[in-house]
Amino acid sequence: MASAPQNPTAAAAAAALRVADLPGRGRGLVAARGVREGEVLLSEPALLLYPSALASLRAYCAACFRALPADSAAAPCASCRAAAFCSPACAAAAHPRLLCTALSHCASAGLAAAAPAEAVQEPLLFLLSAYSLPDPALRAVLSLASAPPPPPGAQDAADLHAAVAALAPPHLLPAGFSPDLTAALLDKDRGNSFAIMEPYRPWTPLELQKARAYAVYPRASLLNHDCLPNACHFDYPDRPGPGNTDIVVRALHDIPEGREVCISYFAANWRYADRQRRLLEDYGFRCECDRCQVESQWKDDDDDNNGDDAMEEEGEEDGADGGDDGMEEEGDADGDDDFPHAYFFVRYLCDSEGCWGMLAPLPPSPNGELSHVFECNVCGKLRKEEDVMPDEGTSGMVH
């Protein structure tokens, strides 16, 4: 994997964060100095990138995961013919060996037969890609934090191990290949992989949007969760040039030195019970952030008997459009007393087309001037600050 370009922004970003042991939270990243809104805190290339499903191989380049050109310009992998590359440069990058070999019997009793369902394909594609890594990179993956044990009904590690053993020629398998190593790798995948999403489609709830690929970023995976995050991550997979699968983390607002930098592991409009369930199942902890402390006091939101809309206790009208995608944008801007974090949602949550992405300011200019333009990390829309905050004295201004 090519390393990120060493531009001044990346150099400054390296100094913005440091690793810290945080009581009760394990390791995390804290601001190594005062950070300004919009600053790039981290820009990191992927240690491991792998396709989300077999279908992804037909739509995205096997090396850079850009959307493949619609015409016949895409070049199939000369070895497996099952994957394709977007350009001669990507074709020159070797297809991960185990993955390529497994795909080459795809047409017969190979990978497709072993993994007909996408839920099985994802961990299998991960394992074939991880076991293709050179030894130092494989050890780097194994050094990441582990996810809690998989929930009942999850794909059995022993079955997946058997599938890898059946698909991969023994001479390509790394030393130490074993059911235990496979189980350990699967724990790392569940706890650390970031999704690189397919191009955004309006009105598709985030949960239903599909990943084109998954990526492991060792440093970014140190970022802990907060339901009122002070940073969010971007990716730009279809951007031209190198580094298109790098993860970029930016500050939502100013962060003082020593403060932990956190992201939200899912759309920030999720209601309390859903957030807690997800964090417990997938990451093994209960969240006690400021927002959760407030919302845990709310009646009627601590069990499953609720309606679909998040924060419906705000007195919003039922039957609003948008189905189950959570908070409605109307009615929260006034700062209801029961909802002290309304400002956060109005300022940092994208309200376009059912998106619910996070809005972060663009980076300050090289001379330190703040941008006042916010970018959504899901739909990519840019918005001027005065349009995000219509009540801040500039209402009525249209672009």
Q: Report 99-158 residues binding Zn ion (CB under 5 A).
A: 100
Closer CB to Zn ion, 87 or 371, in the complex: 87
Which positions from 348 to 367 touch Zn ion by CB under 5 A, shown as an x/- string? --x----x-x----------
- Taking the complex as a whole, the smallest distance from the CB of residue 3 to Zn ion amounts, in Å, to 17
Residue whose CB is less far from Zn ion, 206 or 249: 206
Number of residues that bind Zn ion (CB under 5 A): 21
* Minimum distance, C-beta of residue 290 to Zn ion, in the bound complex (Å): 8
Among 29, 48, 292, 360, binds Zn ion (CB under 5 A): 292
What is the pattern of x (binds Zn ion, CB under 5 A) and - over residues 360-399? ----------------x-xx--------------------
Q: Should residue 80 be labelled a site residue for Zn ion when binding is judged by CB under 5 A?
A: yes
Q: How far is the CB of 177 from Zn ion (least distance, A)?
A: 21
Q: What are the CA-CA distances from residue 127 to residues 7, 181, 188, 284 (Å)?
A: 33, 10, 11, 23
| H helical segments located in the chain | 8-14, 54-59, 88-92, 97-104, 111-114, 118-130, 135-142, 157-167, 179-192, 272-278, 290-295, 342-348, 385-388
- Residue 185 or 197 having the CB closest to Zn ion: 197
Instruction: Report, in Å, the least distance between residue 99 CB and Zn ion.
Output: 7
86 binds Zn ion (CB under 5 A): yes
For residues 41 and 14, the answer to whether their CB atoms sit within 8 Å is no
Q: What's the closest the beta carbon of residue 244 comes to Zn ion, in angstroms?
A: 8
Q: How far apart are CA 36 and CA 364, in angstroms?
A: 8
Q: Phi and psi for 248 in degrees, rounded to 5?
A: -125, 125
Distance CA 14, CA 26 (A): 21
Q: Does 31 bind Zn ion (CB under 5 A)?
A: no
Among 35, 64, 185, 261, binds Zn ion (CB under 5 A): 64
Residue-wise DSSP of 139-202: HHHHTSPPPPPPPTTSPPHHHHHHHHHHHS-GGGSPTT-SHHHHHHHHHHHHHHEEEEEPSP-T
Question: Alpha-carbon torsion 297, 303, 305, 308, what sign?
Answer: positive
Residues that bind Zn ion (CB under 5 A): 61, 63-64, 77, 79-80, 83, 86, 90, 95, 100, 227, 287, 289, 292, 350, 355, 357, 376, 378-379
